[in-house]
Chains A and B, each alone.
Chain A
Amino acid sequence: MADKDQNPASPIISIRGMNKFFGEFQALTDIDLDVAIGERIVICGPSGSGKSTLIRCINRLEAHNSGSIHVDGVELHQHMRDIDIVRSQVGMVFQNFNLFPHMTVLENCTAGPMWVRKVPASEAHELAMKYLNRVNIPEQANKFPTQLSGGQQQRVAIARALCMNPKVMLFDEPTSALDPEMVAEVLDTMIDLAESGMTMICVTHEMGFAKQVADRVIFMDEGKIVETNEPIAFFENPQSERTKKFLAQVLVH
Protein backbone atom coordinates (compact mmCIF):
# COMPACT_ATOMS: atom_id res chain seq x y z
CA MET A 1 0.00 0.00 0.00
CA ALA A 2 2.18 2.81 -1.27
CA ASP A 3 1.00 6.20 -0.23
CA LYS A 4 0.06 7.78 -3.50
CA ASP A 5 -0.83 11.07 -1.86
CA GLN A 6 2.78 11.68 -0.76
CA ASN A 7 4.87 14.07 -2.79
CA PRO A 8 6.87 11.57 -4.85
CA ALA A 9 9.67 14.06 -5.46
CA SER A 10 10.87 14.23 -1.91
CA PRO A 11 10.56 11.03 0.11
CA ILE A 12 13.61 10.81 2.34
CA ILE A 13 12.92 7.15 2.98
CA SER A 14 11.41 4.90 0.37
CA ILE A 15 10.77 1.21 1.00
CA ARG A 16 9.42 -1.05 -1.73
CA GLY A 17 8.32 -4.68 -1.49
CA MET A 18 10.73 -5.35 1.37
CA ASN A 19 10.92 -8.78 3.01
CA LYS A 20 12.98 -9.82 6.00
CA PHE A 21 13.60 -13.34 7.31
CA PHE A 22 15.19 -14.61 10.49
CA GLY A 23 16.12 -18.07 9.30
CA GLU A 24 12.82 -19.69 8.29
CA PHE A 25 10.70 -17.11 10.10
CA GLN A 26 9.40 -14.25 8.00
CA ALA A 27 9.61 -11.14 10.17
CA LEU A 28 8.49 -8.62 7.56
CA THR A 29 6.30 -9.22 4.50
CA ASP A 30 5.97 -6.93 1.49
CA ILE A 31 6.59 -3.65 3.25
CA ASP A 32 5.93 -0.48 1.22
CA LEU A 33 6.53 2.83 2.95
CA ASP A 34 7.43 6.37 1.90
CA VAL A 35 8.42 8.98 4.42
CA ALA A 36 8.45 12.62 3.35
CA ILE A 37 10.85 15.19 4.75
CA GLY A 38 9.48 16.61 7.98
CA GLU A 39 6.92 13.84 8.35
CA ARG A 40 6.28 12.31 11.76
CA ILE A 41 5.24 8.69 11.78
CA VAL A 42 4.26 6.52 14.71
CA ILE A 43 4.37 2.75 14.28
CA CYS A 44 2.40 0.64 16.72
CA GLY A 45 1.31 -2.95 16.97
CA PRO A 46 1.48 -5.96 19.27
CA SER A 47 4.90 -7.28 20.30
CA GLY A 48 6.47 -9.48 17.67
CA SER A 49 4.66 -7.63 14.90
CA GLY A 50 7.97 -6.59 13.29
CA LYS A 51 7.79 -2.86 14.02
CA SER A 52 11.26 -2.71 15.62
CA THR A 53 12.71 -4.86 12.87
CA LEU A 54 11.26 -2.44 10.31
CA ILE A 55 13.01 0.63 11.66
CA ARG A 56 16.20 -1.34 12.32
CA CYS A 57 16.24 -2.15 8.60
CA ILE A 58 16.20 1.56 7.78
CA ASN A 59 19.75 2.04 9.11
CA ARG A 60 20.68 -1.54 8.31
CA LEU A 61 21.17 -2.77 11.86
CA GLU A 62 19.20 -5.59 10.26
CA ALA A 63 19.79 -6.51 6.62
CA HIS A 64 16.65 -7.02 4.55
CA ASN A 65 16.43 -10.03 2.25
CA SER A 66 14.52 -8.69 -0.74
CA GLY A 67 12.85 -5.56 -2.03
CA SER A 68 14.51 -2.16 -1.78
CA ILE A 69 15.19 0.53 0.80
CA HIS A 70 16.34 4.00 -0.24
CA VAL A 71 17.51 6.50 2.38
CA ASP A 72 18.00 10.02 1.05
CA GLY A 73 18.40 8.60 -2.45
CA VAL A 74 21.00 5.96 -1.48
CA GLU A 75 19.96 2.34 -1.83
CA LEU A 76 20.90 0.03 1.04
CA HIS A 77 22.35 -3.24 -0.19
CA GLN A 78 24.76 -5.99 0.73
CA HIS A 79 27.93 -4.77 -0.91
CA MET A 80 27.74 -1.13 -0.04
CA ARG A 81 30.92 0.33 1.39
CA ASP A 82 29.46 3.56 2.68
CA ILE A 83 26.74 2.21 4.96
CA ASP A 84 28.45 4.17 7.73
CA ILE A 85 27.68 7.41 5.90
CA VAL A 86 23.98 6.52 5.70
CA ARG A 87 23.99 5.53 9.35
CA SER A 88 25.59 8.78 10.41
CA GLN A 89 22.69 10.63 8.77
CA VAL A 90 20.04 8.55 10.49
CA GLY A 91 19.83 9.09 14.23
CA MET A 92 18.66 6.20 16.34
CA VAL A 93 17.37 6.10 19.91
CA PHE A 94 17.16 2.69 21.54
CA GLN A 95 14.92 1.21 24.19
CA ASN A 96 17.95 0.61 26.44
CA PHE A 97 19.71 3.90 25.60
CA ASN A 98 23.00 2.16 24.62
CA LEU A 99 25.06 5.02 25.98
CA PHE A 100 28.78 4.34 26.36
CA PRO A 101 29.26 3.83 30.12
CA HIS A 102 33.02 4.49 30.16
CA MET A 103 32.59 7.97 28.69
CA THR A 104 31.04 11.08 30.20
CA VAL A 105 27.75 12.45 28.90
CA LEU A 106 29.69 15.11 27.01
CA GLU A 107 32.09 12.56 25.50
CA ASN A 108 29.14 10.42 24.44
CA CYS A 109 27.85 13.39 22.48
CA THR A 110 31.14 14.56 20.97
CA ALA A 111 32.33 11.07 19.91
CA GLY A 112 30.19 10.86 16.77
CA PRO A 113 30.99 14.31 15.36
CA MET A 114 34.71 14.02 16.19
CA TRP A 115 35.39 10.45 15.09
CA VAL A 116 33.05 10.16 12.11
CA ARG A 117 32.67 13.74 10.87
CA LYS A 118 36.19 14.79 11.93
CA VAL A 119 34.78 17.92 13.53
CA PRO A 120 37.39 19.75 15.67
CA ALA A 121 37.07 19.16 19.42
CA SER A 122 36.01 22.70 20.32
CA GLU A 123 33.28 22.72 17.68
CA ALA A 124 32.04 19.26 18.74
CA HIS A 125 31.97 20.48 22.32
CA GLU A 126 29.81 23.45 21.36
CA LEU A 127 27.51 21.24 19.33
CA ALA A 128 27.14 18.81 22.23
CA MET A 129 26.36 21.57 24.72
CA LYS A 130 23.81 23.02 22.32
CA TYR A 131 21.88 19.75 22.17
CA LEU A 132 22.34 18.96 25.87
CA ASN A 133 20.74 22.36 26.49
CA ARG A 134 17.98 21.44 24.11
CA VAL A 135 17.18 18.25 26.08
CA ASN A 136 17.49 20.24 29.31
CA ILE A 137 20.44 18.52 30.98
CA PRO A 138 23.50 20.71 30.31
CA GLU A 139 24.45 20.48 34.01
CA GLN A 140 25.01 16.70 33.71
CA ALA A 141 27.61 17.02 30.94
CA ASN A 142 30.55 15.80 33.02
CA LYS A 143 28.81 12.92 34.74
CA PHE A 144 28.89 9.32 33.64
CA PRO A 145 25.68 7.83 32.20
CA THR A 146 25.16 5.41 35.11
CA GLN A 147 24.99 8.38 37.49
CA LEU A 148 21.85 9.62 35.72
CA SER A 149 18.24 8.48 35.94
CA GLY A 150 16.72 6.49 33.10
CA GLY A 151 14.85 9.48 31.74
CA GLN A 152 18.00 11.60 31.80
CA GLN A 153 19.96 8.84 30.07
CA GLN A 154 17.39 8.61 27.31
CA ARG A 155 17.53 12.38 26.82
CA VAL A 156 21.33 12.13 26.55
CA ALA A 157 20.83 9.42 23.94
CA ILE A 158 18.58 11.78 21.99
CA ALA A 159 21.16 14.58 22.25
CA ARG A 160 23.90 12.18 21.14
CA ALA A 161 21.91 11.27 18.03
CA LEU A 162 21.11 14.94 17.30
CA CYS A 163 24.81 15.87 17.44
CA MET A 164 25.26 14.07 14.11
CA ASN A 165 22.73 16.48 12.52
CA PRO A 166 20.67 13.56 11.25
CA LYS A 167 18.10 13.94 8.49
CA VAL A 168 15.85 11.33 10.10
CA MET A 169 15.43 10.22 13.70
CA LEU A 170 14.38 6.66 14.50
CA PHE A 171 12.97 5.88 17.94
CA ASP A 172 12.77 2.23 18.98
CA GLU A 173 10.38 2.11 21.94
CA PRO A 174 12.21 4.96 23.68
CA THR A 175 10.03 4.95 26.79
CA SER A 176 9.45 1.22 27.28
CA ALA A 177 12.41 0.67 29.63
CA LEU A 178 11.65 3.73 31.76
CA ASP A 179 9.99 4.02 35.14
CA PRO A 180 6.52 5.57 34.64
CA GLU A 181 7.40 8.89 36.25
CA MET A 182 10.20 9.42 33.71
CA VAL A 183 8.19 8.81 30.57
CA ALA A 184 6.86 12.38 30.40
CA GLU A 185 10.25 14.11 30.31
CA VAL A 186 11.36 11.94 27.37
CA LEU A 187 8.08 12.42 25.51
CA ASP A 188 8.30 16.20 26.04
CA THR A 189 11.76 16.15 24.49
CA MET A 190 10.42 14.19 21.53
CA ILE A 191 7.43 16.52 21.09
CA ASP A 192 9.78 19.49 21.16
CA LEU A 193 11.88 17.79 18.50
CA ALA A 194 8.82 17.06 16.37
CA GLU A 195 7.72 20.68 16.55
CA SER A 196 11.12 21.78 15.27
CA GLY A 197 10.39 19.95 12.01
CA MET A 198 12.55 16.86 12.41
CA THR A 199 11.59 13.85 10.33
CA MET A 200 10.77 11.13 12.84
CA ILE A 201 9.74 7.49 12.87
CA CYS A 202 8.74 6.29 16.32
CA VAL A 203 7.91 2.80 17.43
CA THR A 204 5.94 3.41 20.59
CA HIS A 205 2.91 2.42 22.61
CA GLU A 206 2.38 6.00 23.81
CA MET A 207 -0.91 6.67 22.06
CA GLY A 208 -1.17 10.17 23.54
CA PHE A 209 2.10 11.03 21.85
CA ALA A 210 0.78 9.60 18.59
CA LYS A 211 -2.37 11.69 18.76
CA GLN A 212 -0.45 14.84 19.55
CA VAL A 213 2.40 14.80 17.04
CA ALA A 214 1.97 12.09 14.41
CA ASP A 215 1.13 12.92 10.81
CA ARG A 216 0.45 9.26 10.21
CA VAL A 217 -0.04 6.23 12.42
CA ILE A 218 0.94 2.84 11.06
CA PHE A 219 -0.46 -0.34 12.59
CA MET A 220 1.56 -3.51 12.07
CA ASP A 221 0.72 -7.10 12.83
CA GLU A 222 2.51 -10.35 11.94
CA GLY A 223 5.14 -8.56 9.88
CA LYS A 224 2.70 -6.66 7.67
CA ILE A 225 1.47 -3.09 7.57
CA VAL A 226 -2.22 -3.57 8.33
CA GLU A 227 -3.47 -0.02 8.40
CA THR A 228 -2.12 3.48 7.84
CA ASN A 229 -4.07 6.61 8.64
CA GLU A 230 -4.03 10.10 10.12
CA PRO A 231 -4.16 9.92 13.91
CA ILE A 232 -7.72 11.17 14.39
CA ALA A 233 -9.15 8.81 11.80
CA PHE A 234 -6.92 6.01 13.04
CA PHE A 235 -8.08 6.22 16.63
CA GLU A 236 -11.70 7.14 16.04
CA ASN A 237 -12.47 5.08 13.01
CA PRO A 238 -10.11 2.12 12.68
CA GLN A 239 -10.75 0.06 9.56
CA SER A 240 -9.51 -3.44 10.25
CA GLU A 241 -10.69 -5.81 12.97
CA ARG A 242 -7.16 -6.35 14.24
CA THR A 243 -6.62 -2.63 14.68
CA LYS A 244 -9.87 -2.31 16.57
CA LYS A 245 -8.94 -5.17 18.85
CA PHE A 246 -5.46 -3.75 19.47
CA LEU A 247 -6.76 -0.25 20.20
CA ALA A 248 -9.37 -1.64 22.57
CA GLN A 249 -6.58 -3.29 24.56
CA VAL A 250 -4.17 -0.34 24.49
CA LEU A 251 -6.62 2.48 25.13
CA VAL A 252 -8.37 0.75 27.99
CA HIS A 253 -6.25 2.49 30.62
Chain B
Amino acid sequence: MIIDPSQSAVGQFLAPVIGDPAESGFYGRFVTSFTLALLFVLNLVVISLLPAFRYQVIVVWIELVLLFLTFFYSFDLSFAFIRSKIGFMITQGIFTTLYVSAISIAIAFVIAIMGAVAKLSSNGFAFAIASFYTSFFRGLPLLMQVYLIYLGFPQLGFVIDAVPAGIIALSLCYGAYMTEIFRAGIESIDEGQWEGSRALGFKFGLTMRKIILPQSIPLIIPPTGNQFIAMLKDSSLVSVIGVWELMFLARTLGNKTFNHMEMLITAALLYWMMTMVLELIQSRIERKYRKKQKR
Protein backbone atom coordinates (compact mmCIF):
# COMPACT_ATOMS: atom_id res chain seq x y z
CA MET B 1 0.00 0.00 0.00
CA ILE B 2 1.68 3.20 -1.15
CA ILE B 3 -0.83 5.66 0.23
CA ASP B 4 -3.46 4.85 2.80
CA PRO B 5 -5.86 7.80 2.87
CA SER B 6 -7.62 6.45 5.94
CA GLN B 7 -4.43 7.12 7.95
CA SER B 8 -4.60 10.85 7.15
CA ALA B 9 -6.10 13.67 9.17
CA VAL B 10 -9.27 13.26 7.10
CA GLY B 11 -9.44 9.62 8.21
CA GLN B 12 -9.21 10.71 11.85
CA PHE B 13 -12.00 13.14 11.20
CA LEU B 14 -14.20 10.39 9.71
CA ALA B 15 -13.69 8.03 12.67
CA PRO B 16 -17.39 8.18 13.68
CA VAL B 17 -18.29 6.67 10.27
CA ILE B 18 -15.44 4.25 9.62
CA GLY B 19 -14.41 3.38 13.16
CA ASP B 20 -10.71 3.20 14.03
CA PRO B 21 -8.92 4.25 10.82
CA ALA B 22 -6.15 1.67 11.27
CA GLU B 23 -8.71 -1.15 11.44
CA SER B 24 -11.12 0.16 8.80
CA GLY B 25 -9.55 -1.67 5.86
CA PHE B 26 -10.92 -1.27 2.33
CA TYR B 27 -14.15 0.33 3.55
CA GLY B 28 -12.24 3.05 5.45
CA ARG B 29 -9.93 3.75 2.52
CA PHE B 30 -12.85 3.95 0.14
CA VAL B 31 -14.91 6.30 2.33
CA THR B 32 -11.99 8.68 2.99
CA SER B 33 -10.94 8.73 -0.69
CA PHE B 34 -14.52 9.35 -1.72
CA THR B 35 -14.89 12.15 0.83
CA LEU B 36 -11.66 13.77 -0.35
CA ALA B 37 -12.72 13.58 -4.00
CA LEU B 38 -16.13 14.96 -3.14
CA LEU B 39 -14.62 17.87 -1.19
CA PHE B 40 -12.31 18.65 -4.13
CA VAL B 41 -15.13 18.67 -6.70
CA LEU B 42 -17.42 20.64 -4.42
CA ASN B 43 -14.65 23.18 -3.95
CA LEU B 44 -14.21 23.53 -7.73
CA VAL B 45 -17.94 24.01 -8.21
CA VAL B 46 -18.20 26.60 -5.44
CA ILE B 47 -15.25 28.55 -6.79
CA SER B 48 -16.58 28.51 -10.34
CA LEU B 49 -19.82 29.97 -9.00
CA LEU B 50 -18.00 32.95 -7.50
CA PRO B 51 -18.95 36.10 -9.43
CA ALA B 52 -15.57 37.72 -10.09
CA PHE B 53 -12.19 36.48 -11.25
CA ARG B 54 -10.71 38.40 -8.36
CA TYR B 55 -12.70 36.51 -5.70
CA GLN B 56 -11.82 33.18 -7.27
CA VAL B 57 -8.14 34.02 -7.03
CA ILE B 58 -8.41 35.18 -3.42
CA VAL B 59 -10.29 32.05 -2.30
CA VAL B 60 -7.85 29.69 -3.99
CA TRP B 61 -4.94 31.56 -2.46
CA ILE B 62 -6.43 31.28 1.01
CA GLU B 63 -7.07 27.57 0.53
CA LEU B 64 -3.52 26.94 -0.65
CA VAL B 65 -2.07 28.90 2.27
CA LEU B 66 -4.20 26.88 4.70
CA LEU B 67 -3.02 23.64 3.10
CA PHE B 68 0.55 24.85 3.38
CA LEU B 69 0.14 25.74 7.02
CA THR B 70 -1.43 22.35 7.74
CA PHE B 71 1.54 20.76 6.01
CA PHE B 72 4.02 22.68 8.19
CA TYR B 73 1.89 22.07 11.26
CA SER B 74 2.07 18.32 10.68
CA PHE B 75 5.85 18.49 11.35
CA ASP B 76 5.03 18.96 15.00
CA LEU B 77 7.14 22.11 15.17
CA SER B 78 8.21 23.69 18.42
CA PHE B 79 6.66 27.14 18.20
CA ALA B 80 8.24 28.16 21.47
CA PHE B 81 11.64 27.65 19.84
CA ILE B 82 10.64 29.69 16.78
CA ARG B 83 9.34 32.46 19.00
CA SER B 84 12.61 32.58 20.89
CA LYS B 85 14.69 32.91 17.69
CA ILE B 86 12.57 34.89 15.29
CA GLY B 87 13.61 38.27 16.70
CA PHE B 88 17.25 37.51 16.04
CA MET B 89 16.48 36.14 12.58
CA ILE B 90 14.85 39.43 11.68
CA THR B 91 17.28 41.89 13.28
CA GLN B 92 20.40 39.98 12.24
CA GLY B 93 19.33 37.77 9.33
CA ILE B 94 16.90 39.87 7.33
CA PHE B 95 18.86 43.02 8.04
CA THR B 96 22.10 41.48 6.72
CA THR B 97 20.37 39.92 3.71
CA LEU B 98 18.80 43.26 2.80
CA TYR B 99 21.87 45.43 3.19
CA VAL B 100 24.20 43.00 1.42
CA SER B 101 21.72 42.83 -1.49
CA ALA B 102 21.13 46.58 -1.57
CA ILE B 103 24.83 47.47 -1.63
CA SER B 104 25.49 44.78 -4.24
CA ILE B 105 22.71 45.91 -6.56
CA ALA B 106 23.94 49.51 -6.34
CA ILE B 107 27.48 48.49 -7.29
CA ALA B 108 26.15 46.15 -9.99
CA PHE B 109 24.15 49.07 -11.44
CA VAL B 110 27.32 51.15 -11.84
CA ILE B 111 29.29 48.20 -13.25
CA ALA B 112 26.46 47.48 -15.70
CA ILE B 113 26.38 51.04 -17.07
CA MET B 114 30.13 50.97 -17.65
CA GLY B 115 29.97 47.46 -19.08
CA ALA B 116 27.15 48.32 -21.46
CA VAL B 117 28.87 51.49 -22.70
CA ALA B 118 32.09 49.53 -23.20
CA LYS B 119 30.25 46.79 -25.07
CA LEU B 120 28.69 49.34 -27.41
CA SER B 121 31.81 51.40 -28.00
CA SER B 122 33.96 51.05 -31.07
CA ASN B 123 37.04 50.86 -28.83
CA GLY B 124 38.40 47.32 -29.13
CA PHE B 125 40.16 47.45 -25.76
CA ALA B 126 37.02 48.44 -23.86
CA PHE B 127 34.90 45.91 -25.72
CA ALA B 128 37.37 43.10 -25.08
CA ILE B 129 37.48 43.76 -21.34
CA ALA B 130 33.71 44.06 -21.05
CA SER B 131 32.95 40.95 -23.08
CA PHE B 132 35.58 38.93 -21.18
CA TYR B 133 34.04 40.10 -17.92
CA THR B 134 30.47 39.20 -18.83
CA SER B 135 31.53 35.89 -20.34
CA PHE B 136 33.48 34.88 -17.21
CA PHE B 137 30.96 35.94 -14.57
CA ARG B 138 27.96 34.64 -16.45
CA GLY B 139 29.74 31.39 -17.17
CA LEU B 140 30.52 30.43 -13.56
CA PRO B 141 28.11 29.33 -10.84
CA LEU B 142 27.64 32.11 -8.30
CA LEU B 143 28.60 29.73 -5.49
CA MET B 144 31.94 29.12 -7.23
CA GLN B 145 32.51 32.89 -7.56
CA VAL B 146 31.83 33.36 -3.86
CA TYR B 147 34.46 30.74 -3.00
CA LEU B 148 36.97 32.03 -5.55
CA ILE B 149 36.80 35.56 -4.22
CA TYR B 150 36.76 34.65 -0.54
CA LEU B 151 39.57 32.10 -0.82
CA GLY B 152 41.39 33.64 -3.80
CA PHE B 153 42.05 37.15 -2.49
CA PRO B 154 44.09 35.95 0.50
CA GLN B 155 46.35 34.16 -2.02
CA LEU B 156 47.10 37.58 -3.50
CA GLY B 157 48.20 38.77 -0.08
CA PHE B 158 45.23 40.58 1.37
CA VAL B 159 42.71 38.88 3.58
CA ILE B 160 39.15 39.90 2.97
CA ASP B 161 36.22 39.68 5.37
CA ALA B 162 33.24 37.52 4.58
CA VAL B 163 30.77 40.39 4.11
CA PRO B 164 32.86 42.39 1.60
CA ALA B 165 33.77 39.18 -0.21
CA GLY B 166 30.09 38.31 -0.52
CA ILE B 167 29.24 41.80 -1.72
CA ILE B 168 32.02 41.71 -4.33
CA ALA B 169 30.89 38.31 -5.62
CA LEU B 170 27.23 39.32 -5.83
CA SER B 171 27.89 42.68 -7.50
CA LEU B 172 30.32 41.23 -10.04
CA CYS B 173 27.96 38.41 -10.95
CA TYR B 174 24.86 40.56 -11.19
CA GLY B 175 26.82 43.36 -12.85
CA ALA B 176 27.56 40.91 -15.66
CA TYR B 177 23.90 39.96 -16.12
CA MET B 178 22.75 43.56 -15.83
CA THR B 179 25.34 44.67 -18.40
CA GLU B 180 23.30 42.74 -20.95
CA ILE B 181 20.04 44.31 -19.71
CA PHE B 182 21.56 47.78 -19.95
CA ARG B 183 23.05 47.09 -23.37
CA ALA B 184 19.64 46.06 -24.65
CA GLY B 185 18.08 49.16 -23.06
CA ILE B 186 20.60 51.45 -24.70
CA GLU B 187 20.32 49.72 -28.06
CA SER B 188 16.55 50.07 -28.03
CA ILE B 189 16.88 53.85 -28.32
CA ASP B 190 16.26 54.96 -31.89
CA GLU B 191 19.36 55.48 -34.04
CA GLY B 192 17.93 58.90 -34.92
CA GLN B 193 18.70 60.11 -31.39
CA TRP B 194 22.39 59.44 -32.02
CA GLU B 195 22.25 61.17 -35.40
CA GLY B 196 20.38 64.17 -34.02
CA SER B 197 23.01 64.49 -31.29
CA ARG B 198 25.93 64.03 -33.65
CA ALA B 199 24.51 66.61 -36.04
CA LEU B 200 24.52 69.15 -33.18
CA GLY B 201 28.17 68.38 -32.47
CA PHE B 202 27.70 66.32 -29.28
CA LYS B 203 30.53 63.93 -28.50
CA PHE B 204 29.96 60.27 -27.57
CA GLY B 205 30.12 60.76 -23.79
CA LEU B 206 27.82 63.78 -23.82
CA THR B 207 25.30 61.99 -26.05
CA MET B 208 25.38 58.96 -23.76
CA ARG B 209 24.95 60.95 -20.53
CA LYS B 210 22.40 63.53 -21.64
CA ILE B 211 20.44 61.92 -24.47
CA ILE B 212 20.67 58.12 -24.50
CA LEU B 213 20.87 57.12 -20.81
CA PRO B 214 18.03 59.39 -19.62
CA GLN B 215 15.82 57.67 -22.18
CA SER B 216 17.01 54.14 -21.49
CA ILE B 217 17.02 54.28 -17.65
CA PRO B 218 13.19 54.11 -17.49
CA LEU B 219 13.42 50.96 -19.63
CA ILE B 220 16.16 49.55 -17.42
CA ILE B 221 14.70 50.20 -13.96
CA PRO B 222 11.91 47.56 -14.00
CA PRO B 223 14.16 44.62 -14.98
CA THR B 224 16.68 45.87 -12.41
CA GLY B 225 13.96 45.48 -9.78
CA ASN B 226 13.57 41.87 -10.88
CA GLN B 227 17.30 41.38 -10.57
CA PHE B 228 17.15 42.74 -7.02
CA ILE B 229 14.48 40.22 -6.07
CA ALA B 230 16.55 37.44 -7.60
CA MET B 231 19.64 38.69 -5.79
CA LEU B 232 17.81 38.71 -2.47
CA LYS B 233 17.46 34.96 -2.81
CA ASP B 234 20.88 34.35 -4.34
CA SER B 235 22.45 36.21 -1.42
CA SER B 236 21.75 33.01 0.54
CA LEU B 237 24.82 31.58 -1.20
CA VAL B 238 27.16 33.84 0.75
CA SER B 239 26.11 31.92 3.87
CA VAL B 240 28.73 29.33 2.90
CA ILE B 241 31.51 31.75 3.77
CA GLY B 242 29.96 32.58 7.11
CA VAL B 243 28.03 35.78 6.52
CA TRP B 244 25.34 35.91 9.17
CA GLU B 245 22.45 36.46 6.84
CA LEU B 246 19.08 34.75 6.90
CA MET B 247 20.13 31.45 5.30
CA PHE B 248 23.17 31.13 7.57
CA LEU B 249 21.00 31.57 10.64
CA ALA B 250 18.44 29.13 9.27
CA ARG B 251 21.13 26.47 8.97
CA THR B 252 22.88 27.10 12.28
CA LEU B 253 20.41 28.31 14.91
CA GLY B 254 18.56 25.01 15.22
CA ASN B 255 21.68 22.81 15.17
CA LYS B 256 22.25 22.52 18.88
CA THR B 257 18.73 21.40 19.73
CA PHE B 258 17.94 19.52 16.48
CA ASN B 259 15.26 22.08 15.58
CA HIS B 260 16.38 22.23 11.92
CA MET B 261 12.91 22.19 10.44
CA GLU B 262 11.68 25.07 12.61
CA MET B 263 14.45 27.38 11.44
CA LEU B 264 14.32 26.37 7.78
CA ILE B 265 10.57 26.87 7.57
CA THR B 266 10.75 30.19 9.42
CA ALA B 267 13.48 31.43 7.08
CA ALA B 268 11.55 30.20 4.05
CA LEU B 269 8.48 32.17 5.12
CA LEU B 270 10.60 35.25 5.84
CA TYR B 271 12.20 35.08 2.35
CA TRP B 272 8.78 34.65 0.82
CA MET B 273 7.32 37.62 2.66
CA MET B 274 10.28 39.80 1.70
CA THR B 275 9.93 38.96 -1.98
CA MET B 276 6.18 39.51 -1.86
CA VAL B 277 6.70 43.00 -0.47
CA LEU B 278 9.40 43.70 -3.05
CA GLU B 279 7.26 42.41 -5.89
CA LEU B 280 4.53 44.79 -4.80
CA ILE B 281 6.99 47.69 -4.85
CA GLN B 282 8.34 46.45 -8.19
CA SER B 283 4.91 46.49 -9.81
CA ARG B 284 4.38 50.05 -8.55
CA ILE B 285 7.67 51.16 -10.06
CA GLU B 286 6.83 49.43 -13.33
CA ARG B 287 3.48 51.17 -13.54
CA LYS B 288 5.04 54.54 -12.80
CA TYR B 289 7.65 54.20 -15.55
CA ARG B 290 5.11 52.89 -18.03
CA LYS B 291 3.08 56.05 -17.48
CA LYS B 292 6.17 58.14 -17.98
CA GLN B 293 6.89 56.39 -21.27
CA LYS B 294 3.49 57.33 -22.59
CA ARG B 295 3.88 61.02 -21.87
Closest beta carbon of chain B to A200's beta carbon, Å: 15
When A115-B206, A144-B295 are in contact, do A98 and B201 touch as well, CB less than 8 Å?
Answer: no
Q: Which of B195, B214, B215, B295 contacts A98 (CB 8 A)?
A: B195
Number of interface residues of A (CB under 8 A): 26
The residue of chain B having its C-beta at the shortest distance from the C-beta of A160 within the complex is B200
The residue of chain B having its C-beta at the shortest distance from the C-beta of A164 within the complex is B200
B288 beta carbon closer than 8 Å to chain A? no
Q: How far is the CA of A116 from the CA of B211 in the complex (A)?
A: 14
Instruction: Tell me the residues in window 98-121 of chain A with beta carbons closer than 8 Å to chain B beta carbons.
Output: 98-102, 111-112, 115-116
Instruction: State whether A100 touches B211 (Cβ < 8 A).
Output: yes
When A111-B210, A115-B210, A146-B295 are in contact, do A98 and B202 touch as well, CB less than 8 Å?
Answer: no
Q: How far is the CA of A61 from the CA of B202 in the complex (A)?
A: 12
Q: How far is the CA of A112 from the CA of B197 in the complex (A)?
A: 9
Closest beta carbon of chain A to B112's beta carbon, Å: 20
The residue of chain A having its C-beta at the shortest distance from the C-beta of B192 within the complex is A98
A92 beta carbon closer than 8 Å to chain B? yes
Residues of chain B within 8 A (CB-CB) of A59 are 198-199
Instruction: State whether B196 touches A116 (Cβ < 8 A).
Output: no
Instruction: State whether A92 touches B199 (Cβ < 8 A).
Output: yes
Residues of chain A within 8 A (CB-CB) of B193 are 98, 100
Q: Which of A98, A115, A144 contacts B196 (CB 8 A)?
A: A98
Instruction: State whether B199 touches A100 (Cβ < 8 A).
Output: no
A88 beta carbon closer than 8 Å to chain B? yes
Q: How far is the CA of A61 from the CA of B211 in the complex (A)?
A: 17
When A98-B192, A98-B195 are in contact, do A87 and B295 touch as well, CB less than 8 Å?
Answer: no
Q: How far is the CA of A61 from the CA of B194 in the complex (A)?
A: 10
The residue of chain A having its C-beta at the shortest distance from the C-beta of B199 within the complex is A92
A80 beta carbon closer than 8 Å to chain B? no
B203 beta carbon closer than 8 Å to chain A? yes
Instruction: State whether B196 touches A87 (Cβ < 8 A).
Output: no
A29 beta carbon closer than 8 Å to chain B? no
When A84-B203, A115-B210 are in contact, do A94 and B198 touch as well, CB less than 8 Å?
Answer: no
Instruction: State whether A61 touches B195 (Cβ < 8 A).
Output: yes
Closest beta carbon of chain B to A101's beta carbon, Å: 7
Instruction: State whether A116 touches B195 (Cβ < 8 A).
Output: no
Q: How far is the CA of A117 from the CA of B14 in the complex (A)?
A: 87
A68 beta carbon closer than 8 Å to chain B? no
Instruction: Tell me the residues in window 75-99 of chain A with beta carbons closer than 8 Å to chain B beta carbons.
Output: 84-85, 87-88, 90-92, 94, 96-99
Residues of chain B within 8 A (CB-CB) of A111 are 200, 210
Residues of chain B within 8 A (CB-CB) of A100 are 193, 196-197, 211, 215
Residues of chain A within 8 A (CB-CB) of B211 are 100
Q: Which of A61, A91, A101, A115 contacts B198 (CB 8 A)?
A: A61
Closest beta carbon of chain B to A52's beta carbon, Å: 12
When A96-B192, A98-B192, A111-B210 are in contact, do A87 and B215 touch as well, CB less than 8 Å?
Answer: no
Residues of chain B within 8 A (CB-CB) of A116 are 200-202
Q: List 18 A-B contacts (CB under 8 A).
A: A61-B199, A84-B202, A85-B201, A87-B200, A87-B201, A88-B201, A94-B192, A94-B196, A96-B192, A98-B192, A99-B196, A111-B210, A112-B202, A116-B202, A146-B295, A160-B200, A161-B200, A164-B201
Residues of chain B touching chain A, judged by Cβ–Cβ distance below 8 Å, are: 190, 192-193, 195-203, 206, 210-211, 214-215, 295
A sample of 12 more A-B contacts (CB under 8 A), given A88-B201, A101-B215, is: A84-B202, A84-B203, A87-B199, A90-B199, A92-B199, A94-B192, A94-B199, A98-B193, A100-B215, A102-B214, A111-B210, A115-B202
